[in-house]
């Protein structure tokens, strides 16, 4: 997926893009934990790296929104946008926790 330019997207599509990239990251983070649990640390590390790339895509969209607001251009508030923010933030939390859990799992072996 290329990096999206929010100027060509509707407000609703911006929300969907945020959920898409955070959602892809979320799935990969959880899969990384499963892979680590099954002993495939290389696969787990690769999935976490991919998840971080997905999160970067989400951040790139988010950053453009913040810039838009900073230049006094009003961002239309909607439930879907709030939901998208929720997805992004919860996935960030999940990623940090999963990284710790994977390390913890390795130490207990």
Partner 1 sequence: MGVKKILLACSSGMSTSILVTKMQQYVKSIGDEAEIWAVGQDQAKAEMAKADVVLIGPQMSFLKSELQKEADKYDVKVDVIDMVAYGMADGKKVYEQALRLMGENQ
Residues catalogued as catalytic: 83
Alpha carbon distance 48, 45 (integer Å):
5
CB 54 within 8 A of CB 25: yes
Residue of 3, 6, 7, 16 that binds partner 1 (CB under 8 A): 16
H or E stretch at 35 = helix 11-37
The window from 13-21, 36-44, 64-72, 95-103 that contacts partner 1 (CB under 8 A) reads 13-21
Alpha carbon distance 19, 1 (integer Å):
14
Alpha carbon distance 78, 108 (integer Å):
45
User: 32-71: which residues touch partner 1 (CB under 8 A)?
Assistant: 34
Task: Name the residue with tokens 């990239």.
Answer: 21
Residues that bind partner 1 (rule: CB under 8 A) add up to a total of 23
Q: Pick between residue 2 and residue 105 the one whose CB is nearest to partner 1.
A: 2
The contact mask relative to partner 1 for 65-84 (x = CB under 8 A, - = no) is --------------xx--x-
Residues interacting with partner 1, by CB under 8 A?
1, 4, 9, 12-13, 15-17, 19-20, 22-24, 26-28, 30-31, 34, 79-80, 83, 87
């Amino acid at each position: 997926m290329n990096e999206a330019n929010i100027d060509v997207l509707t407000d609703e599509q911006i929300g969907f893009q945020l959920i898409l990239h955070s959602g892809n990251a979320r799935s990969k983070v959880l899969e990384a934990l499963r892979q680590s649990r099954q002993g495939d640390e290389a696969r787990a590390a690769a999935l976490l790296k991919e998840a971080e790339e997905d999160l970067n895509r989400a951040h790139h969209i988010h950053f453009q929104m913040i810039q838009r607001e900073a230049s006094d251009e009003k961002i239309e508030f909607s439930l879907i946008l709030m939901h998208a923010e929720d997805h992004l933030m919860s996935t960030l939390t999940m990623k940090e926790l999963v990284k710790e859990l994977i390390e913890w799992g390795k130490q207990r072996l």
